[in-house]
């Protein structure tokens, strides 16, 4: 069996300030988004739509605000509402941990709607641009989870070549390195699917040549929801929640409306004027 190396969560210690690996992975995620989005506005149909690198910078700013505020509020509301209701002063204590992807997604959706309104863009035009640039950021986040030795997997057969003991779990049980599974599925594989699909003509044009919006966004919701649902079978449920109805985790239940919404958005994109 492998044993998690228990990295020091502090990457750089200058005495008066500490820079954590998790913070660096967030920085890498935002950097990757900026680079990919700058390349994406050079592709059809964005190249003819007047998008500029300055708008990409603005888009990143809105997205960062959405990720941080939405991710934190999502964790508070979806996972520990009673605790934070009793301790409202800790809601903003993000340095103590606690971010939820589904909350971050809702935060980004609101941020993209505000960006679209301010810059007079179509909402799905903005989200179709953003969608393929997001999974690499998710992959960076899973690297941070692995370095921190958090969000470990469920018990695995000790004969599994990549089964790993996470001492942080308080046991010597061999577990699935679920952070790696999520890095590969909702990170790298989802990125490859969306980036390649986003370059095809059918993703943005109807048969008559007119532009359509929403298919890339819909595929993102379908892809992430499906991959996360699968990965949750290998990830240890939160101890304070456990498994819910039908032996599904909170993460899996939150993925169900994502997939349904994705199917509706993708299917209706070609018919929407």
What was the pLDDT predicted at 119? 94
What was the pLDDT predicted at 192? 98
| Mean per-residue pLDDT, 25-50 | 93
pLDDT at 123 over 80: yes
What was the pLDDT predicted at 98? 74
The span from the CA of 270 to the CA of 273, in Å, is 8
Which of 2-16, 19-33, 70-84, 118-132 tops mean pLDDT? 118-132
pLDDT at 24 over 90: yes
The span from the CA of 104 to the CA of 70, in Å, is 4
| Mean per-residue pLDDT, 93-118 | 85
| Mean per-residue pLDDT, 128-142 | 96
What was the pLDDT predicted at 61? 95
Under DSSP, is residue 190 helix (H, G, I), strand (E, B) or coil? helix
Window from 75-79, 116-120, 218-222, 263-267 with minimum mean pLDDT: 75-79
Window from 31-40, 103-112, 182-191 with minimum mean pLDDT: 103-112
Q: 148 is in which domain, residue-wise? A: 2-269
Under DSSP, is residue 42 helix (H, G, I), strand (E, B) or coil? coil
Instruction: Identify the residue with better confidence: 78 or 111.
Output: 111
In tens, the pLDDT along 218-266 reads: 999 999 999 999 999 999 998 777 888 999 998 999 999 999 999 999 9
> How many folded domains does the chain comprise?
1
What was the pLDDT predicted at 207? 86
User: Which segments are annotated as binding site?
Assistant: 142
The span from the CA of 168 to the CA of 152, in Å, is 9
| Mean per-residue pLDDT, 20-30 | 91
Residue 208 pLDDT class (50, 70, 90 cuts): confident
What was the pLDDT predicted at 96? 64
In tens, the pLDDT along 138-174 reads: 999 999 999 999 999 999 998 999 999 999 999 999 9
Handedness of CA 41, 42, 43, 44 (dihedral sign): positive
pLDDT at 63 over 70: yes
Nearest CA to 195 among 30, 37, 10? 37
pLDDT at 95 over 80: no
Half-sphere exposure of 258 (CA within 13 A, CB side): 23
Angle in degrees, CA 68, 261, 42, rounded to 5:
65
The span from the CA of 253 to the CA of 114, in Å, is 28
Contact 244, 253 (CB under 8 A): yes
Residue 94 pLDDT class (50, 70, 90 cuts): low
Contact 175, 152 (CB under 8 A): yes
The span from the CA of 174 to the CA of 215, in Å, is 41
pLDDT at 273 over 60: no
* Residues contacting 205, CB < 8 A, separation 6+: 45, 211, 212
Looking at the chain, list the stretches that DSSP marks H as alpha helix, in order from N- to C-terminal side: 21-40, 53-78, 81-86, 101-119, 123-130, 135-148, 178-182, 190-198, 215-231, 250-269
pLDDT at 199 over 60: yes
Neighbours of 149 (CB within 10 A): 18
The span from the CA of 125 to the CA of 212, in Å, is 9
pLDDT at 91 over 90: no
């Amino acid at each position: 069996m492998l044993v998690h190396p228990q990295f020091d969560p502090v990457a750089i210690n200058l005495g008066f300030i500490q820079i954590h690996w998790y913070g660096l992975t967030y920085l890498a995620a935002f950097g990757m988004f900026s680079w990919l989005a700058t390349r994406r506005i050079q592709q059809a149909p964005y190249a003819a739509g007047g998008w500029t690198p300055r708008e990409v910078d603005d888009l990143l700013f809105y997205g960062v605000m959405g990720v941080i505020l939405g991710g934190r509020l999502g964790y508070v509301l979806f996972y520990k509402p009673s605790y934070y209701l009793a301790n409202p002063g800790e809601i903003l204590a993000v340095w103590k941990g606690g971010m939820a992807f589904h909350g971050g997604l809702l935060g980004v959706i609101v941020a993209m709607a505000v960006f679209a309104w301010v810059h007079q863009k179509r909402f799905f035009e903005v989200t179709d641009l953003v969608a393929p640039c997001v999974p690499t950021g998710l992959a960076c986040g899973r690297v941070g989870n692995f370095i921190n030795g958090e969000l470990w997997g469920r018990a695995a057969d000790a004969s599994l070549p990549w089964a790993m003991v996470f001492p942080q779990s308080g046991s010597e049980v061999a577990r699935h390195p679920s952070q790696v599974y999520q890095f590969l599925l909702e990170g790298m594989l989802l990125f490859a699917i969306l980036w390649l699909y986003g370059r095809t003509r059918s993703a943005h044009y109807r048969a008559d040549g007119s532009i359509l919006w929403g298919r890339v966004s819909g595929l993102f919701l379908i892809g992430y929801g499906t991959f996360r649902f699968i990965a949750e079978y290998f990830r240890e449920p939160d101890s304070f929640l456990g498994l819910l109805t039908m032996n599904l985790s909170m993460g899996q239940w939150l993925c169900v409306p994502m997939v349904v919404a994705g199917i509706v958005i993708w299917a209706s994109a070609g018919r929407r004027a």
